[in-house]
Amino acid sequence: MLSIALSELVQIFRNRLVLVTSFVMPVAVSAFFIYQHELFAKVASVGYIAAIVMFTVCAFGLYASSVTTLASRRQNLFLKRLRSTAAGDANILTGLVLPVTAISLVQVVVIMGVLGAVAGTPDHIGLLVLAVLATVTMMIGLGLATAGLTNSPEHAQVTTLPVSLGVIAVASWVGIAGAEDLTLLKRLLPGGSATELVVNAWNGGVAVADSLVLLVPTLAWVIVAVALASRLFRWEPRR
């Protein structure tokens, strides 16, 4: 698994498309939100900015890059060759998505650290960590499922848009409008409960036990995504 991950890490730095989606776009968007944090705080809160930053990195840096990577490795038959080795399926997939996952986690930590230094630290760091880990897990699962519907790296630019833009739209909806109205719908949509959890973790004012319940919808989406991935994922190009 580690050898696959190291090989994939080298490929990431050689692939300009993945490099842009993994680094440039998330960092640029996050820098804009942090620079304008006082303006956005008037509309919502610092917790909302943190949620948007998290989902920007996870949607474009993690999810889209994972789908692109898996589609590319399938197209050049690298996945097929890996399955002929002693590595199991789980180790292969873990090795392929591990580098981009690690990069995304580092980005989230650094960017939120900058946000905390500029706009004030979060009230419950532990809850924030749980929200980030749950979101990362959900986006990896959705990436595996989407990769099953993606025929090529170029096709990934289309297949990843609904989820990428969808989770950011949900995060904006929940972060700006709050979860007081249409609470159940907002929490059941992918990204809704995670956004509410980040807002609670950063802004405080909500009991920890009440916030922990918000992990359930996100983890449920992990189960759904894994189930879809097990049915949709393909190891060879479609004929």
Q: Which tens digit of pLDDT belongs to each residue from 42-92?
A: 667 888 888 988 999 999 889 998 998 898 888 888 888 878 777 778 888
Residue pair 61/168 in contact by the 8 Å Cβ criterion: no
Residue 214 in domain: yes
CA pair distance 154, 88, nearest whole angstrom: 27
Q: Which domain holds residue 8?
A: 2-232
For residue range 121-133, what is the model confidence (pLDDT) as tens digits?
888 899 999 999 9
Q: Number of structural domains, the chain?
A: 1
Residue 166 in domain: yes
Residue 103 in domain: yes
Conformation bin of residue 207: beta by default, left when phi > 0, alpha when psi is -120 to 50: beta
CA angle 83, 85, 90 (to 5 degrees): 55
Helix spans in 88-124 (H): 89-119
The pLDDT, as a whole number, for residue 41 is: 65
Residue 132 in domain: yes
Residue 238 in domain: no
Q: Whole-prediction pTM value?
A: 0.89
Q: How far is CA 127 from CA 105, 161, 179, 212, 221, in A?
A: 16, 29, 18, 8, 19
The pLDDT, as a whole number, for residue 176 is: 87
Residue pair 7/87 in contact by the 8 Å Cβ criterion: no
Residue 239 in domain: no
The pLDDT, as a whole number, for residue 21 is: 63
Burial of residue 91 (CB within 10 Å: 0-12, 13-18, 19+) is middle
Regions of the chain with pLDDT less than 50: none
Residue 237 in domain: no
The pLDDT, as a whole number, for residue 38 is: 63
The pLDDT, as a whole number, for residue 42 is: 67
The pLDDT, as a whole number, for residue 20 is: 67
